[in-house]
Amino acid sequence: MKRLRTLALFVLAALPATAEAHTGVGLHSHGFEAGFSHPFTGLDHMLAMVGVGLWAASLGGRARYLVPLSFMGVMVAGGLLGIAGIALPMVETLIAASVAAIGLVVLLNVRVPTPIASAFVGACALFHGHAHGAELPAMANQWGYVAGFVLATGLLHAAGLGLGMARFGNAEGLLRRAAGGLVAVAGLALFAG
């Protein structure tokens, strides 16, 4: 538990001071570095991935690792579709909607069986992964890029898990749900904007 909190604090401290829309050019244009930085350059991706960790923490048990792993697995599939140039409909709209939906399940403390939660986050992850893959920088190693965005996603999930599992006395559930509410509001703002 202490290690998870330390990891979550490390990840949060490593986040950039400003989140910009998806980038993929400049100094980080060669594979792993570009893939690793990509989830941190879009507020939509950061919120969804931290939100998945928060929800997994609230579900408890095996969901703590199966729900994030489901997101990561389907995200890779979506990323490979994007790299291959296979189009999906309304990707950015569905990414924004997924951020709002993930925030809402945390806010409302939705309790479902782990396979349903895994399928839900997997559906969200398909579009996040597609956006990652479609923005593969020219000349970047695609497998390094995929490995980079998977590692970054895992760290963001761990941050959400750490925050979701942190003990705050009687306010513990309230703080987790408030964080979910903030994710939902941000997702709605992204969706509207």
**Residue 139 in this model has a pLDDT that exceeds 80:** no
Which whole number is the average pLDDT over 145-172?
87
Asked if the structure places residue 5 within a domain, the reply is no
Q: How far apart are CA 66 and CA 187, in angstroms?
A: 24
Asked if the structure places residue 163 within a domain, the reply is yes
Find which of 31-45, 70-84, 136-150, 165-179 is predicted with most confidence, using mean pLDDT.
70-84
Asked if the structure places residue 11 within a domain, the reply is no
* Single-letter residue type at 98: S
Asked if the structure places residue 123 within a domain, the reply is yes
Asked if the structure places residue 85 within a domain, the reply is yes
Please count the structural domains in the chain.
Answer: 1
pLDDT in tens, 16-43: 433 334 444 444 447 898 889 888 888 8
Range of the domain at 59: 29-191
- Global confidence as pTM: 0.81
Asked if the structure places residue 99 within a domain, the reply is yes
User: How confident is the model at residue 59, as a pLDDT?
Assistant: 95
CA torsion angle for 112, 118, 121, 125 (degrees, to 10)?
180
Which whole number is the average pLDDT over 1-25?
44
Asked if the structure places residue 46 within a domain, the reply is yes
User: How confident is the model at residue 173, as a pLDDT?
Assistant: 74
